[in-house]
Homo-oligomer: A and B are copies of this chain.
């Protein structure tokens, strides 16, 4: 499999370059970054690109690759429903090219969300705590908000009503943000990278799912999983869940 990395000089990009080079079944054929021409991708015979760049640049790259028949594994953020629809339109009704857009390539984060959906119907209460470095701009994280929304949906499908909460006095913000009725708390802490806890409670017992991304290399196994499987999944795929045996 001939792989090219777009955004190859970024922090994440460098790790992906190293990960592809370390994998015996993958061949790194091109590295592209801002100011480089995308023609390098076709010239090198690229079969799959990995794109961790910027919202401003990614759509042009996707259009180019889809037209050129190159599969895409994308970790760049900023994919609104509108953008996803645009990608679907480019792919067409009978897609030959596979595009994977994933908000989180950490396999543990995907498992944490999957497990949260399974556990939610059995518990009276559930909350999410995410902890990140203090240079993060958004609070809560996209992963935490998505986890909470999925828990809310699983509860609704199981016929569970609102969670008990007798809070009558307190300070603004103490109970966190409300995502579809599930409380989400965001901690910003120097020394931390990207961490999340999902806590479930019922009479006499508590179940906690915790995921710790210790460094940026935590993305690599999930990206390689995407690269190895994208050709068999033509069309638009959102999240690496569909490539896992869940």
Contact = CB atoms under 8 A, between A and B. Distances in A.
Interface of A: 106-108, 111-112, 114-115, 118-119, 121-125, 127, 129, 131, 134-140, 145, 163-179, 183-193, 199-221, 244-246
A165 B139 CA distance: 10
Q: Is the interface of A mostly helix, strand, loop or mixed?
A: mixed
Copies of this subunit? 4
A137 B168 contact: yes
B217 A204 contact: yes
Contacts of A176: 173-174, 176, 185-187
17 contacts: A108-B200, A111-B207, A125-B134, A137-B168, A139-B174, A140-B170, A173-B175, A175-B186, A176-B185, A176-B187, A187-B199, A189-B199, A189-B201, A202-B218, A203-B218, A203-B221, A207-B211
